[in-house]
Structures are given as C-alpha cells and as structure tokens.
Structure 1
Amino acid sequence: MFEVLVFVYENYWRGDACPEPEQLGRKLTAHGFEPDEIRDALQWLDGLTVATQGIQLTRHVDETTATVGLRGTGEAALPQAADSMRVYSATEQDHLGADCLGFISFLETANVLSPGLREIVVERAMAAPGDPVALDELKIIVLMVHWSTGIEPDALVLDELCDGREGRVAH
C-alpha cells in the first residue's frame, strides 16, 4: 500500500490535483500495482479525505513562530494549551510503537505538526497495516496528510521525511 501512496504523492502535486478514485485506480493498474495494493491505498486515501474534509486552515502567528492550525468549519475549535499533553491509549502505543511516537513528538516540537494535524496523522496511522507501524511508513503518512491539506513542509522537514537514515553520516 505504501508504494502506491508514494507514487500518488510523487505524481500529483496536491491532494486536490489527484483524480477521482476510479480514474486513479485505472492509472495505478496501468503502472503495474497489484489490485490488493490499489484497493488498500484507495480506501486509505478515502479515509484521509474524510479526515481532512471540511477543515479550514488558519494561520496562528505569535512573536516567535508561525504555525498552521486546523479548525473544523462547523464547530469552534479551541486551541491546545501550551502546557497540555497528548496521552496515547494502549492500543495507539502498541500500533504506533516507540519510534513513531517519538517522531510525532519531534515533529510537534519542531512546529511541523499542529495538534489538529497530529490527530489526523495518528488516525491515519491507526488505519495503516503493521504492528507496529514502521517509522518510514509513518513518514509517508505525515507527507500524505500535508499533501492532502495543501500544506507544504519546509525543505529541511521535507528532507527528514523523504530521506532514509541509511547511509547518513552523523556530524
């Protein structure tokens, strides 16, 4: 499934540029992906669309950073307090694993994931196969959430999400 998601990410510059599921399925079949992979990826993408549907992007700017937040269009969303903490359920901890939870925390600390985006990432990661989800797969999920919402991560974050750790030299 993740190979299909990478193909979609690389070939459609934004979520709204992606063709309808039926047409996308035909294109993926033409590129040689297996029917099961295509079905799983299309279901996952459908869930991503539902998760991000009706989300209005708002920009919160304070004196030190500019962060992107999400607000549902139908209800008032309260911003997360600076001293609040996300507690993961035992099921989430088991499915995501320590590496993924640590990476999500890193992305939040780096202001790459707002609390709203984090919740979408966690929800989509819970819908992904694997127990626990591999870190490289979580990175693809984060990219797909940004892709779907039209938020482009900065170059350094994009490098961290796209580049594997193999072959890296510590400085």
Structure 2
Amino acid sequence: MKENVLDVLLYLFENYLEEEIEARYEGCPLREELEAAGFPAEAVTHAFEWLEGLEARKRSGDTVMPTTAYRVYAAEEMARLSTGCRGLLMHLENLGILTPDGRELVIERLMALDDDAVEEDHVRWVVLLALFNQPEHEEAYARMEDLVFQSYAEAVH
C-alpha cells in the first residue's frame, strides 16, 4: 500500500501540471479518476495529504539556513533511510541541486511516505517532486530531471 502512495504521486506528476493538481485534487473528478485507474482510495487520500504537506511548506516560506550544514540523522530516519539514500542526499547537496533547507524538505517528505524502508529511487523522485513544487528552483529541477531520467536510461540498457 505504501508504495502506492508514491505511485499516485508519480501518476499525478506525469499527467498533470501543478496548477491542474491544485485545482482538482480537492474535488471528486481527480480522486475518481485515480481510483478508476486502480489506485486504492487510502493511497489516493494519503497522496493528497502528502501534497498538502508539500504545499504547506512552500507557503510557510523558506527558513534561512547556512550554505553548508552538517546533518545528524535521528534514529527513525537512520532506520528508514539507508546509507545509500543518505549518501545520495549528500551528493545532491554537494552538486548544488539541494540546499540544506531543500534537503530537510526532502527528508520530511520521505518520512511522510510512511514506508518502512526508503529506496534511492524514492529519494530521486521525491527530490524531483519537491523541486518542481518550489519556486525559483528551475535550474536545480532541470539538473535533477536529467539525473533521474539518465539513471532510468542506464537501467534499461
């Protein structure tokens, strides 16, 4: 069930522009469409709550964080985010794709997936979704999009 939440989010990301999602996810048409596409009602509800959390973070304004910050992970984060996931987050931050505040947003959204174990692939998609939703991060989004689709092209070959 929990992976279905990410599936719902990716379906929305691939099929709708941000404005269309915001305008339609409170109403029945999009919810009914997702359920007709085979997504469980509980996963659809959780996906909309996840999006609301992302939107709330955008509205609350970015906190000002130092340009370099050392992250100490909580025990629950360590249990759910593998060394590979944490390394990927650090790598994306070193590349300048994630800011320290962006990293915190991604970690918060990964933990909100309520998945027992988060995979590196989940991290890539959540970073992409978070950057897509954040104003003034178009360049970082484009770089992350290249990385996401490059990794899929390599996996296919």
The answer to whether the superposition gives a TM-score over 0.5 is yes
Q: Is the 8 A contact 1:125 1:141 kept in 2?
A: yes
Structure 1 residues 98-107 or 33-42, which shifts more?
33-42
Deviation of 1:108 (Å): 0.0
Total equivalences in the alignment: 146
- Larger helix proportion, structure 1 or 2? 2
Distance 2:144 2:129 in 1: 14
Q: Tell me what 1:121 maps to.
A: 106
Name structure 2 gaps, 5 residues minimum. Answer: none
Cα shift readout 1:46-94 (whole Å, capped 9, x = no counterpart): 2212222232xxxxxxxxxxxxxxx34xxxx3x4154x31111121111
TM-score normalised by length of structure 1: 0.74
Q: Is the 8 A contact 1:9 1:147 kept in 2?
A: no
Q: Tell me what 2:147 maps to.
A: 160
- Larger strand proportion, structure 1 or 2? 1
Name structure 1 gaps, 5 residues minimum. Answer: 56-70
Distance 2:9 2:25 in 1: 13
Where has structure 1 moved over 4 Å in runs of 4 or more? none
Identical-pair percentage: 29
- One-letter code of the match for 1:11? N
Match of residue 9, structure 1, among 6, 13, 36: 13
Q: Is the 8 A contact 1:44 1:127 kept in 2?
A: yes
Match of residue 141, structure 1, among 120, 126, 138: 126
Distance 1:2 1:154 in 2: 18
Higher radius of gyration, 1 or 2: 1
